[in-house]
Amino acid sequence: VILLTYQVIDRYISPRVSCPGATVYWRNMFGTLNERLEKIVRSVRGKAIISEADLDLTLREIRIALLEADVALVVVREFINNVKANIIGKEVLKSIKPDQMIIKLVQDELIQILGANNQPLKIEKNGLTKILFCGLQGSGKTTSVAKLAYHIQKESKKKILLVSADIYRPAAQDQLKILSEQVNVDFFDHQNSQSVEIITSESLLYAEKNIFDIILFDTAGRQVIDEVMMLELQKIHKQLQPQETILVADSLT
């Protein structure tokens, strides 16, 4: 599972909105959490003496901020308990700069929970890199495809092609096409073909013919109990043979 935290698309025109031209604003979870944590840090910073009551209030505010950002309760409890144990165990409240120590311990624990080690994507130096996205309905696959495309292009200047193999959700093709325009990458328009196999084969031929470096392949949402849809995903994977398969899931999954 890869956690995408890049705040790329703040808004886009959604094809699912009934009112033509209506704008939907997407607020990044990490942006909201960052604002709350910055406010909490400012309340602690500069204090020469921090009482246990101050600490409890600070941890309570952090707990609320994490819960409002849809972080699972069990994760929040573990986070707060670990931070408090470190603060008390290291006698931070009695240190010369308790505010700086508390901020550092909170930051260290956030890094530990979100992932201390980053695993880079397998991007081929030569030839076409294929990245397949899968996950439940409504988990954010399509927007994650666009965000990752933006990030890769910004970091490496690679030529990227976006492909949608979601032939079930209304306007799925239009959504990814609009997002591709937002992040300024190419989109493979297959004229609303109703065959996933044809979309896969034709998009691969198109990518190779036009010398693309990376193809990001979006798929329809599905559940593991749906045997037909899972079989379709297996066929896509076998046909595409991706270097990376990214599962996009809600943080509470």
Express each pLDDT in 133-157 by its tens digit.
998 888 888 999 999 999 998 888 8
Please report the pLDDT score of residue 146 as a whole number: 92
Q: What is the pTM of this model?
A: 0.67
**Rounded Cα distance, 149 and 47, in Å:** 43
Position 240 pLDDT exceeds 80: yes
* Predicted confidence (pLDDT) at residue 12 exceeds the cutoff of 60: no
Name the CATH topology of 29-114: Four Helix Bundle (Hemerythrin (Met), subunit A) (1.20.120)
CA dihedral 6, 245, 231, 146 (to 10 degrees): 30
- The pLDDT assigned to 105 comes to 81
Q: pLDDT at position 182, please?
A: 92
Tokens of 45: 């910073």
Task: Dump pLDDT digits (tens) for 214-233.
Answer: 999 999 888 888 788 899 99
165 near 205, Cβ under 8 Å? no
Phi, psi of 234 (to 5 degrees): -60, -40
Phi and psi torsions of 244, nearest 5°: -135, 140
Average pLDDT of the chain to the nearest whole number: 78
Q: Which two tokens stand for residue 49?
A: 């003496």
CATH of domain 121-248: 3.40.50.300
pLDDT at site 253: 57
Strands of the 129-135 sheet, one edge to the other: 186-187, 160-164, 214-218, 129-135, 244-248
pLDDT of residue 193: 76
Q: What is the pLDDT of residues 34-78, one digit of tens each?
A: 777 777 777 767 666 667 777 788 888 888 888 887 777 888 898
> In this predicted structure, what is the pLDDT of residue 40?
74
pLDDT digits (tens, 9 = 90+) for 167-199: 888 788 889 999 999 999 999 988 767 789 999
Tell me: pLDDT of 200 over 90.
yes
Strand partners, 13: 23
- Domain boundary assignment for the chain: 29-114, 121-248
Mean pLDDT across 234-244: 93
pLDDT of residue 116: 66
pLDDT of residue 84: 85
- Over the stretch 112-125, which tens digit does the pLDDT of each residue have? 877 767 778 888 88
With 70 as the cut, is the pLDDT of residue 94 above it?
A: no
pLDDT at 219: 92
Distance, CA of 145 to CA of 133 (rounded, Å): 7
